Amino acid sequence: MQSGIVHSRLTALALTFMAIIWVSPFTWLLLNAFDTSSTGQLAWPTTPGVGNFVAAVSGDSGRQFINSVIIAAGTATLSVIVGIAAGYPLSRLNIPGRNAFLWALVLLRMLPAVGVLVPIYFAAQRAGLLNQLGVILALTILNLPFTLLLLKNFFDTVPIEIEEAAYVEGASLWQIVTFVVLPLSRAGIAVVWFFTFTSAWNEFLLPLIFARVQDAFPMSVGLYAAFGRQGAINYGFLAAYSIIYAAPAIAVYFLLRRNLNTGFAGVGVKG
């Protein structure tokens, strides 16, 4: 009995210690973000205010936030559209070499982005796409293996009997895909859109190389550029900037939480 109490106390102490370690960085962010004269110390704000947040959403920083939204949302939406257009035929048609093609996509997904960066850059340069549109197209191409494989697997869970019943009732292929397949696959579409969005939101190398000018940089590049700007580090600004940088991905998660929690659950058919 005594040994059990000691074990419980030691477990509680260990969990408390881990919780303190986990919470400390977030505490530092919050305290410094609301301190307009922050020195980077983990201390209560001496001059509390929201000036750091105002600076983080105005001027170049505000433009970088908009650039990040455009790149991330554009990449996620385009990836889902292309993935649906390619994933549905792969799921429903007996295409020769389909399995080999899917395995090739798996291997392509395993390649690091840096390994294909040079050909993508020169292709974008020749096409005049060293801009935000070029970043969106490049990220869509890099995310396509993941998008296609995941959406194809979700389409596989939609029973073919439902589509056959809709076809018998006179529905066209477009109507079947739009009003039957996609609603039943909304969980998969939400998962793909969310992960593609967060991947594009956190992308650093491609926007840095493609954009090349500060007005076109997203927040991932802006956060890096903010370190040591003008020979000094504004810890309060960086803390506020980091919080704003993390907020959209969290917000998107809560907006799509119901569909994300659905996961890979299959769809049943009533007999």
User: In the prediction, which pLDDT does 271 show?
Assistant: 36
Give the amino acid at 215: D
pLDDT tens track for 71-103: 999 999 999 999 999 889 888 888 888 778 877
- Position 111 scores a pLDDT of 74
Class for the domain spanning 59-262: mainly alpha
Q: Position 242: which residue type?
A: S
Ranges of each domain in the chain: 59-262
Residues of the chain with confidence (pLDDT) below 70: 1-7, 23, 228-231, 259-271
Q: What is the pTM of this model?
A: 0.82
Distances (CA, A) of 188 to 41, 141, 193, 195, 268: 44, 19, 8, 11, 16
